[in-house]
């Protein structure tokens, strides 16, 4: 049987696969984030208060360190077991999970030869990708 045939991917199977994709993506993101959190706590001596600096009222929140804002600078830090970088990777996996689902939906609608939904889903995917790539400062 052909993998790209409608019979192989029956409607119910497609829904189950997409549900599993979301479920396993979220579980993977949670696992990565928990692992990163443990590493972060170990590296920072259990989260001691010596590094804690409250933000004074009226001051802008400084956000995360600059190296945690781009994937290209996160990946090298993963090899060093940087806890904050591992946590950030978990957040990226969590964000990517529904995007993969939308991308897989394009393939599913192509297999079903439902071209109207292919176009609509591609527009949604293009909007998501444009916001991710062009919305960064």
Query: Which are the contacts of 130, defined by CB distance < 8 A and separation ≥ 6?
Result: none
**Cα–Cα dist 27/50, whole Å:** 33
Residue 128's Cβ-side half-sphere holds a number of Cα atoms within 13 Å equal to 15
C-beta separation of 121 from 105 below 8 A: yes
**Cα–Cα dist 1/68, whole Å:** 46
Could you report the per-residue pLDDT of 50-74, keeping only the tens digit for each? 555 666 676 776 777 888 888 888 9
Instruction: Tell me the pTM.
Output: 0.74
pLDDT at 23: 94
Could you report the per-residue pLDDT of 4-15, keeping only the tens digit for each? 666 655 656 777
pLDDT at 133: 82
**3-state class percentages of the chain: helix first, strand second, coil last, to nearest 5:** 70, 0, 30
Could you report the per-residue pLDDT of 67-114, keeping only the tens digit for each? 888 888 899 999 999 999 999 999 999 999 999 999 999 988 888 888
| Residue 50: exposure state from Cβ atoms within 10 A (0-12, 13-18, ≥19) | exposed
**Cα–Cα dist 2/19, whole Å:** 23
Boundaries of every domain in the chain:
11-46+70-134
């Amino acid at each position: 049987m052909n993998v790209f045939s409608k019979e192989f991917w029956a409607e119910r199977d497609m829904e189950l696969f997409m549900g599993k994709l979301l479920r396993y993506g979220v579980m993977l993101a949670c696992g990565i984030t928990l692992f990163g959190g443990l590493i972060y706590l170990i590296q920072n001596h259990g989260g001691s208060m010596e590094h804690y600096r409250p933000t004074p009222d009226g001051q802008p929140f400084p956000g995360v360190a600059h190296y945690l804002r781009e994937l290209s600078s996160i990946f090298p830090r993963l090899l060093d077991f940087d806890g904050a970088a591992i946590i950030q990777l978990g957040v990226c996996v969590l964000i990517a999970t529904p995007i993969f689902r939308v991308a897989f939906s394009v393939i599913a609608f192509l297999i079903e030869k439902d071209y109207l939904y292919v176009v609509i889903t591609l527009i949604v995917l293009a909007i998501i990708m444009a916001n991710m790539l062009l919305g960064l400062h």
